[in-house]
Structure 1
């Protein structure tokens, strides 16, 4: 029996590597498949999108916010992975009463690397996880060595959704990644994914707004809606997965950060 701790500090007792995993966390669903666990992932949330072929072959159990608890119970997993910032508190509490639950509240690249390696050890795939983590380290090091930050910081708001209106604040990997290219999150004084109802965008009407583009967030058609709610602010659709996911998708983040910099600092 091994005592392990997830990124939130929650302690779990594991007798052996998990064999029936339910993952409600999209970024870690991709990681599980990438390190060779396709035969052990029994269900995923509808927000899980990558790798597309594997996800489409795996049973969906509803949204990561409010999954199908009854079906999860029937599947009888020996390990559940979620991000409590994205799952209702009551759901997290109920799942913890029934199963070992890994709560991924990673908010930095360093924390993500530690989590990738930890999950590799737990799943008995340490070499595969180490390859992913080491590759991420290398790509970020190369990016930082070659990239020249702009002399002046640009303040931006990064919106997560519009039903309800929310934005990324501190304690999210998005805030750190934006900082790599000289972008300062104006909602960094808020914690996690924060509600925007009744609030103005800090910095005034002309603060650039980034919209998290994804299957369950923003699309091109939402730009006029955002323009009406926040008139005067330039609006940019950005890749949700490459700015907010903290698993193996971080392999692609440095290249995307360079693209985003060129878009915002022409």
Structure 2
């Protein structure tokens, strides 16, 4: 028997390891694959891109924000994995009538490790998740104390949007010595290039997802005009935002990124 309390403060108890799992969260789907639960996973969203072959082998139950509840019901699951931010409260409430739903909330690397361990408890893979979590934190702990850079991390255009201090991306930035200039804001604030220019940033990071800044130079042209003396860096969004086994690679990405970023300006905060 496995028992864990989720982000809604609901305790979920399973009498036996689940054999029909539906995952509504890409990072957690990738985690289930990493744990060897190929046969147990029966349904995923269309955004669950890893492992790639599951898109053709598993039942697609809609998107993260638009779950087809009846498709999930027809799969007769015995565990549904959801997330507070990635899935809607309405979908989660409807799914509560279908099967046990475990809702996670991940805003820090430490919370990601706890999520990994909890999934291990629920799926009878605790030994594997303990090893995975240990390897992840060991790599993060090996990161050097980088000189602090004042940074803004952009996730969207028209309007421009950044990340606040209560997000997973914000926490990962801190591990890389990137001081989020919008860390005192909540969620995903909107901004203009002119407002950003007033923040005295050392670097602007433009993520490859969810908005594909990497696809066209024109996507950053107005930023370069507003901040002519500030580096505008395109970054891979996955190391900053995926919180499953992909975290194994995040520390090395942060090291590589810092090698190509500028040193802090003399006027920057220490």
TM-score, with length taken from structure 1: 0.85
Q: Partners in 2 of 1:115 and 1:109 — Cα distance?
A: 10
Name 1:44's counterpart in structure 2: 44
- Give the secondary-structure state (helix, strand or coil) at the position aligned to 2:22: strand
TM-score, with length taken from structure 2: 0.84
Q: Counterparts of 1:34-183 in structure 2 under 5 Å?
A: 34-142=34-142, 144=143, 147-150=144-147, 153-162=148-157, 165-183=160-178
Q: Partners in 2 of 1:254 and 1:244 — Cα distance?
A: 13
Q: Counterparts of 1:3-18 in structure 2 under 5 Å?
A: 3-18=3-18
Deviation at 1:14, TM superposition (A): 2.0
Name 2:249's counterpart in structure 1: 252
Deviation at 1:69, TM superposition (A): 2.4
- Give the secondary-structure state (helix, strand or coil) at the position aligned to 2:155: strand
Structure 1 residues 162, 202: closer, same or farther in 2, change over 3 A? closer
Aligned equivalent of 1:235, options 223, 232, 237: 232
8 Å CA contact retained: 1:29, 1:48: yes
Q: Partners in 2 of 1:8 and 1:168 — Cα distance?
A: 23
- Give the secondary-structure state (helix, strand or coil) at the position aligned to 1:52: coil
Name 1:191's counterpart in structure 2: 186
Deviation at 1:202, TM superposition (A): 4.8
Aligned residues: 259
Q: Partners in 2 of 1:200 and 1:99 — Cα distance?
A: 49
Residues 131-163 of structure 1, C-alpha deviations (whole Å, 9 max, x = no match)? 211111221222x3xx2411xx32222223347
- Give the secondary-structure state (helix, strand or coil) at the position aligned to 2:172: helix
What is the RMSD of the two structures over their aligned residues, measured on CA atoms?
Answer: 2.6
8 Å CA contact retained: 1:27, 1:245: yes
Runs of at least 5 residues in structure 2 that lack an aligned partner in the other structure: 264-270
- Give the secondary-structure state (helix, strand or coil) at the position aligned to 1:98: coil
- Give the secondary-structure state (helix, strand or coil) at the position aligned to 1:28: helix
Structure 1 residues 128, 95: closer, same or farther in 2, change over 3 A? same
8 Å CA contact retained: 2:20, 2:79: yes
Deviation at 1:2, TM superposition (A): 4.5
Q: Partners in 2 of 1:75 and 1:165 — Cα distance?
A: 39
Q: Partners in 2 of 1:76 and 1:201 — Cα distance?
A: 50
Give the stretch that moved more between structures: 50-59 or 106-115.
Answer: 50-59
Q: Partners in 2 of 1:73 and 1:199 — Cα distance?
A: 46
Q: Which has the larger radius of gyration?
A: 2
Deviation at 1:117, TM superposition (A): 1.3
Q: Partners in 1 of 2:84 and 2:158 — Cα distance?
A: 19
- Give the secondary-structure state (helix, strand or coil) at the position aligned to 1:174: helix
8 Å CA contact retained: 1:206, 1:232: no
